[in-house]
Amino acid sequence: MVSDFNKKRNREFSKNQFLFQLGVVLFLAVAVVLVIVNVKIYNRKKDLQAQVAFYESQVAEIETNIQSLKKDIDNSDNPDYLEKIAYEQLGKQKPGEQSIIFIEPEEKIEEKIEETIFLPAWISGVFNWIKEKF
């Protein structure tokens, strides 16, 4: 009888121990899932904040364009403004005026391209010095 009592006690103890371990495992699993979900939400929030900032900058740019267009509309009946627009955007000229276009020789353009794009200033200076010597 005594041995039977100990077996029941060990079984009950092991059932309680099993339930406790199961509870701990479930608690840890839920905690891990919540941490993962929290990280995903944080990353999504960061992305959305970046999008909001981008769209706010676009809205500000559009508002400045609207103000510029309103100013242009207000000045649409001003002859001086219309003349300015005709000169700048349409290339119109008054009678007797001539337009002058400056064209640089192609050699100078090629040298400038070499200097600005391919070589830093001090290297291009050395390169030009060597080119002049030969």
pLDDT digits (tens, 9 = 90+) for 8-40: 555 556 788 888 999 999 999 999 999 999 999
Summarize pLDDT for 52-70 with one digit per residue, the tens. Answer: 999 999 999 999 999 999 9
Is 110 in the same domain as 93?
A: no
Same domain, 120 and 88: no
Identify whether residues 37 and 17 lie together within a single domain. yes
User: With bands split at pLDDT 50, 70 and 90, how would you rate the model's confidence at 84?
Assistant: confident
Based on the domain organization, do 36 and 94 belong to the same domain?
yes
**Amino acid found at 65:** N
Which pLDDT score is estimated for 121? 62
Domain interval for residue 7: 2-98
Q: How many domains does the chain have?
A: 2
CA distances from 131 to 101, 106, 110, 118, 128 (A): 31, 17, 14, 16, 5
SS3 content of the chain, % helix, strand, coil (to 5): 85, 0, 15
90 and 129 fall within a common domain: no
Q: Could you give the CA distance from residue 27 to residue 55 in angstroms, rounded to a whole number?
A: 42
Chain center to CA of 116 = 27
